[in-house]
Amino acid sequence: MTKCEFFREGERITGFSVSGHSGYAEAGTDIVCAAVSAVVSMAEATINDVCGAKAKVRVKEEDARVTLTLPVSCDEEDTVQAVLAGLMVYLVDLRDQYPDFIEVLEV
């Protein structure tokens, strides 16, 4: 199962961690893992490369984990928050379609 955790401080999403393999299909043909990987990559690229937020990104290959942590403040805070909210909405929708393969939590 893929586990997606969103971190909050009050109303502000401060980052996320996505880990594990969904187990929907074999590696290379797993549409749930592909969807999660694509949307997480897009969100990170938008936050860092487009918005210039300088979020810290850690990848742990052995755990199949990607963690993104925002700095205390961002120049494009509203846009960054919109991207993170969109990521959460997308992953919740994916969870609703494939409830046995993906979990989404706010912590």
Over residues 53-86, the pLDDT tens digits come to: 999 999 999 889 999 999 999 989 999 999 999 9
Average pLDDT over residues 18-45: 96
**How many other CB atoms are there within 10 angstroms of residue 75's CB atom?**
11
pLDDT band at 90 (very low <50, low <70, confident <90, very high): very high
Q: How far is CA 41 from CA 7, 11, 61, 105, in A?
A: 18, 23, 15, 19
The whole-model pTM stands at 0.95
Please give the Cα distance from 3 to 20 (Å, whole number).
Answer: 6
Please give the Cα distance from 35 to 41 (Å, whole number).
Answer: 10
Return the pLDDT at 63.
85
SS3 call for 65: strand
Return the pLDDT at 16.
98
Domains in the chain and their CATH numbers? 2-106 (3.30.70.1490)
> Do the Cβ atoms of 87 and 96 come closer than 8 Å?
no
Return the pLDDT at 78.
97
Return the pLDDT at 47.
98
| Joined tokens for residue 75 | 């120049």
pLDDT band at 13 (very low <50, low <70, confident <90, very high): very high
